[in-house]
Amino acid sequence: MADQVKYPGRLITVDGSRGKDTAAAADAIVERMRGSGVECAISRWDASGLFGELAATARGDRNISMRTLALVYASDLAFRLRWEIRPVLEAGGVVVAAPYIETPIAFGAGCGLSEEWTRQLLRFAPPADVRGRADERKLDRPWKRRTDRGFPEYCAMMLDASAPRTLSKRARHEMMRMLDQARGRKIFTLSDKGVDAIAKAITDNRPGALRRSASRPRNARK
């Protein structure tokens, strides 16, 4: 079940405790990579549309548990892997997945789900080549309770309907604590410096074929 395939491409993952910052960090990486001549795809949360449909269906009754939402996340991730991530990796390209597996693991843990359960559930996802963490830029403000911002905000909104409002606050703290844990891998903090470091990590290791020539190739006429 675990994805042990060694893909020719590179997978960069971005996780964070706030959807908007995660998306912004992913955009910054893609921009920087493109600037250095590397074409880069991006895979975002809810590409399958499941969360959007769920919010529409559950408008009146939000009797949904964190475990159910984690399963929906897993299904959405399976969709993203099939259509957005694996095809790029198989073709030898670079793809940024934002968020990836650490976000639901950390948020789930903040809501009482065992870390091991979520990690095992998502074990079909291939490991990241480079891991990045998007720190929150506005720590003093609460999350915006919206269904289109990101997974943590979405869950906070859905869960707060049936649980005490303190849940999202507690989950946020727990989430930040967990996202700080490196688990034996280097994690890049996605400040400007971090984005440069990720771009360098990828461009230094990637196969030569990945580099898109900035100028016209010499043999173009042939």
Partner 1 sequence: MPRPSNARKLRKLIAEREKSRGLLIAFEGPDGSGKTTQHKLLKRWLESQDHEVVSTRWASSALVKPMLKVRKKIRTLSVEEYSLLHAVDFRHRIETSILPALWSGKTVLADRYLFTALARDAARGLDLDWLLHAYSPLLWPDLVIYFSMTPEDSRRRIASARAPRFYEAGQDVTGIDDPLASYSRFIDRVVTEYDNLSVVFQFVTVDAGEAVYRQHTRVRELVEKAEKRPWMTFSEEAVQEWLIKSNTPDA
Nearer to partner 1, 22 or 48 (CB): 48
Position among 31, 162, 182, 185 found at the interface with partner 1 (CB under 8 A): 162
Does 67 interact with partner 1 (rule: CB under 8 A)? yes
Q: Is 132 helix (H, G, I), strand (E, B) or coil?
A: strand
Question: C-beta of 24: minimal distance to partner 1 in Å?
Answer: 28
Beta bridge partners of residue 43, listed in sequence order:
97
The residues, any chain, with a CB within 8 Å of residue 83's CB and separated by 6 or more, are 47
Q: For partner 1, which stretch binds (CB under 8 A), given 48-56, 87-95, 135-143, 212-220? A: 48-56
Question: C-beta of 78: minimal distance to partner 1 in Å?
Answer: 4
Q: How far apart are CA 28 and CA 19, in angstroms?
A: 14
Question: How many residues touch partner 1 (CB under 8 A)?
Answer: 29
Question: C-beta of 142: minimal distance to partner 1 in Å?
Answer: 22
Position among 64, 87, 145, 169 found at the interface with partner 1 (CB under 8 A): 64
Does 24 interact with partner 1 (rule: CB under 8 A)? no
* H or E stretch covering 95: strand 94-98
Near partner 1 in 192-221, by CB under 8 A? none
Q: Report how far apart, in Å, the C-alpha atoms of 55 and of each of 77, 81, 120, 139, 159 are.
A: 18, 23, 26, 26, 12
Residue 21: CB atoms within 10 A of its CB come to: 21
Nearer to partner 1, 170 or 186 (CB): 170
Which of 115, 103, 100, 137 lies closest to 11 in space, CA to CA?
100
Position among 12, 54, 106, 187 found at the interface with partner 1 (CB under 8 A): 54
Residue 134: CB atoms within 10 A of its CB come to: 29
* Residues at the interface with partner 1 (CB under 8 A): 1, 48, 50, 53-54, 57-58, 63-68, 71-72, 74-75, 78-79, 82, 112, 114, 117, 120-121, 123-124, 162-163
